[in-house]
Structure 1
Amino acid sequence: MKLFVLLLLSCFHLSFSSSTYNAIFNFGDSISDTGNLLLSGGASKVFPGIASLPYGSTFFGRPTGRCSDGRLIIDFIAEAFGLPFLPPILTQNQSFVHGANFAVAGATALDASFFEQRGFVGLTNYTLNLQLQWFEQLIPSLCHTTEDCRAYLSKSLFFVGEIGGNDYIHPTMAGLSFEEVQTYVPFVVETISNAVERLINLGAVNLVVPGTPSVGCMGQILTMAVGNDDGDDYETETGCLKKANNVMKQHNDLLRHEVAKLRRKHPHVNIIYADLYQPVIQFFRSPSYYGFKSNPLRACCGGGGPYNFDFKVRCGEPGSSVCGDPSSSLDWDGDHLTETAYHQVAQFWLKGLNANLRNDMK
Structure 2
Amino acid sequence: MASVASPPRLLPLLLALSLLLGARRASGGCYSAIFSFGDSLADTGNAIRLGGLGGPTGTPPYGRTFFNRPTGRFSDGRLIVDFIAQGLGLPLLRPYLGGGSSEDFRQGVNFAVAGATALDLSFFREKGIQPTWTDKSLHVQIQLFKQLLPSIAAGRDPKDVLNSSLILMGEIGGNDYNQPFFQGIKLDEIRPFVPSVISAISSGINDLIELGAKTLLVPGNFPIGCVPVYLDIYKSYNVEEYESDTGCIKWLNELSKYHNRLLLAELDRLRKLHPNVMIIYANYYDAMISFFRAPEVFGFKAPLHACCGSDGPYSVNRNAPCGHRNAKVCSDPSSSVSWDGIHLTEAAYGTIASSLLEGPHANPPLTRACSSTRQNAVDDF
TM-score for the superposition, normalised by structure 2? 0.87
Given candidates 22, 26, 43, the residue that maps to 2:32 is 22
Given candidates 263, 288, 312, the residue that maps to 1:255 is 263
Given candidates 121, 141, 145, the residue that maps to 1:112 is 121
Measured after TM superposition, the shift of residue 312 of structure 1 is: 1.4
Q: Could you tell me how far apart the structure 2 residues matched to 1:208 and 1:300 are?
A: 29
Three-state SS of the structure 2 residue aligned to 1:69 is coil
Distance verdict in 2 for CA 1:266–1:17, change over 3 Å:
farther
Q: Corresponding residue for 1:333?
A: 340
Measured after TM superposition, the shift of residue 133 of structure 1 is: 0.9
Q: Corresponding residue for 1:11?
A: none
Q: Corresponding residue for 2:303?
A: 296
2:173 aligned with 1:174? no
Stretches of structure 1 that go unaligned for 5 or more consecutive residues are 1-15
Measured after TM superposition, the shift of residue 230 of structure 1 is: 2.3
Q: Corresponding residue for 1:72?
A: 79
Aligned residues: 341
Q: Corresponding residue for 2:349?
A: 342
Counterpart amino acid of residue 255 in structure 2 = V
Q: Could you tell me how far apart the structure 2 residues matched to 1:254 and 1:54 are?
A: 37
Q: Could you tell me how far apart the structure 2 residues matched to 1:237 and 1:182 are?
A: 25
Contact residue 205 and residue 269 of structure 1 kept, 8 A: yes
Measured after TM superposition, the shift of residue 352 of structure 1 is: 2.1
Contact residue 27 and residue 88 of structure 2 kept, 8 A: no
Q: Corresponding residue for 2:106?
A: 97
Stretches of structure 2 that go unaligned for 5 or more consecutive residues are 1-25, 374-381
Deviation string 1:10-44 (CA, Å, 9 cap, x unpaired) is xxxxxx9986111000000011100000012133x
Deviation string 1:248-289 (CA, Å, 9 cap, x unpaired) is 100011101111111111011111111000010010111011
Q: Could you tell me how far apart the structure 1 residues matched to 2:361 and 2:61 are?
A: 30
Contact residue 219 and residue 281 of structure 2 kept, 8 A: yes
Contact residue 29 and residue 89 of structure 2 kept, 8 A: no
Q: Corresponding residue for 2:272?
A: 264
Q: Corresponding residue for 1:231?
A: 239
The range that moved more, 247-256 or 173-182, is 173-182
Q: Corresponding residue for 2:200?
A: 191
Contact residue 198 and residue 262 of structure 2 kept, 8 A: yes
Q: Corresponding residue for 1:210?
A: 219
Given candidates 249, 253, 263, the residue that maps to 1:241 is 249
Q: Could you tell me how far apart the structure 1 residues matched to 2:160 and 2:100 are?
A: 25
2:286 aligned with 1:278? yes
Contact residue 27 and residue 89 of structure 2 kept, 8 A: no
Given candidates 306, 312, 324, the residue that maps to 1:305 is 312
Q: Could you tell me how far apart the structure 2 residues matched to 1:99 and 1:144 are?
A: 14
Q: Corresponding residue for 2:378?
A: none
Contact residue 18 and residue 358 of structure 1 kept, 8 A: no
Three-state SS of the structure 2 residue aligned to 1:353 is coil
TM alignment of 1:27-46, pairs within 5 A: 27-43=37-53
Counterpart amino acid of residue 214 in structure 2 = V
Three-state SS of the structure 2 residue aligned to 1:333 is coil
Between the aligned residues of both structures, percent identity stands at 48
The range that moved more, 345-354 or 121-130, is 121-130
Distance verdict in 2 for CA 1:203–1:116, change over 3 Å:
same
Three-state SS of the structure 1 residue aligned to 2:106 is coil
Contact residue 17 and residue 360 of structure 1 kept, 8 A: no
Which gives a bigger RCO, structure 1 or 2 (Cα 8 Å, sep 6+)?
Answer: 1
Q: Could you tell me how far apart the structure 1 residues matched to 2:29 and 2:359 are?
A: 15
Q: Corresponding residue for 2:136?
A: 126
Counterpart amino acid of residue 139 in structure 1 = L
Three-state SS of the structure 1 residue aligned to 2:262 is helix
The range that moved more, 101-110 or 302-311, is 302-311
Measured after TM superposition, the shift of residue 124 of structure 1 is: 2.0
CA RMSD across the alignment: 1.5
TM-score for the superposition, normalised by structure 1? 0.91
Three-state SS of the structure 2 residue aligned to 1:50 is coil
Measured after TM superposition, the shift of residue 321 of structure 1 is: 0.5
